[in-house]
Chain A
Amino acid sequence: MGTADAEPPCGCETLEVSAEAAAILLSFAMRESEAPAVELGSALERLGEGLRPLEGGLVREALARDLAACVRALQFHDRLVQQLAVIRNLLTRLTHHPLPQMAGFGALRWEELLTALRERLAAGSHDELFELLVRTGGVGVAGGVGGEPGEGSCELF
C-alpha cells in the first residue's frame, strides 16, 4: 500500500506565499519589459524621423510599410502588460494582504512593494521568492498582433 507521507503539507500559508510570489514575479516581468519596449519605440521614432526627408520611391515606401508593421506589432507589449496586470490582480485577491496597487512600475512603488513583502514572508520564503525573481528571463516574441474580434476596429459616433 502506498503512502503519501513524503508530500509536504500544502496549507493556506503555502498558497498565500505562492500567490504573492507569483504576483511579484508578474510585476517584476512587467517592469523589466517596459524599458526595452520604450527603447524599441524610441528607435522607431528615430527611424521615422530619418525617413521623413527622403524622396518618394520604392525604397521609401517599403521602409514606411515596415515602420507601420513595427508600430502595429509593438502594441503586443501594451496588450501583454494589461493581461498580466489582470492576472496579478486576481492573484492578489488570494492573499490576506493585498499588494499595493501599482498603476505604473516606478522604482519607489516597487521598493514599497518589496518592503511590504519582506516584512510578511518567512525567511524560507524569501529564498523561494528570490529564486523566482532571478530566474526571470527574456520574453519570446512569437507571431504578430492577435486576432480578437473587434481589434483594430473604429466606430465614429
Chain B
Amino acid sequence: MARILAVDDSPSMRQLVKLALSSGGHEVDVATDGVEALQVAEKQQFDVVITDVNMPNMDGISLVRELRRRTNYRFVPLLMLTTESTAERKQQGKEAGATGWLVKPFDPNRLLSIVTKVLT
C-alpha cells in the first residue's frame, strides 16, 4: 500500500482518482492546486504524486519543478494526469522532472498498474 497525493482542480476528477487508487488498497490524499499540494506534501511524505497540469494558482509542471527541489521528493514518482497530449507539453513535464505523462480519460485498472510499476 502506498501513500498517494492526487492534485486536480476538478472535484469530480479528484474523487475519481481517489476512488480508482483506493480500490487498489492505496491511501489517497487530495489537493486542489499546486500551492495546496506543496503545503500538504511538506506536512507529510507521499510515495507517489499524481497531478493535473492546468490548475489555478500553481500548475502541475511548476508543482513538479518545486517538488524536485526538495530532497525528500527528489526520487519520488511524480505523474502528470492531463488532457494535454502535445509533445511540447510532455517535454516541459519531462524537463521539470515528471516521471510519466498520462492522458485523460484514465482507465482505473491501468492507473493502478502504472502506480504499481513506478513504485517498484
Contact = CB atoms under 8 A, between A and B. Distances in A.
Interface of A: 34, 37-38, 40-42, 44-45, 48, 51-52, 64, 67-68, 71-72, 74-79, 81-82, 103-104, 145, 148-157
B105 A72 contact: yes
A157 B108 contact: no
A79 B114 contact: no
Interface in B77-120: 83, 85, 90, 93-94, 98-110, 114, 117-118
22 contacts: A34-B12, A37-B11, A37-B12, A38-B12, A41-B15, A44-B15, A44-B16, A48-B22, A68-B107, A71-B20, A72-B108, A75-B12, A76-B105, A77-B10, A103-B57, A150-B103, A152-B105, A152-B106, A153-B102, A154-B114, A157-B100, A157-B101
A103 B35 CA distance: 14
A155 B100 contact: yes
Given A48-B22, A71-B19, A103 B56 contact: yes
A87 B9 CA distance: 19
Interface string B21-59: 011000000000000000000000000000000111100
* Interface-centre pick from A52, A75, A103, A148 (highest chain B CB count, 10 A): A75
A135 to B, nearest CB: 25
A152 B110 contact: yes
Contacts of B104: 75, 78-79, 151-152
A155 B105 CA distance: 14
A155 B19 contact: no
B105 A145 contact: yes
Nearest to B118: A156
A151 B18 CA distance: 20
B16 A74 contact: yes
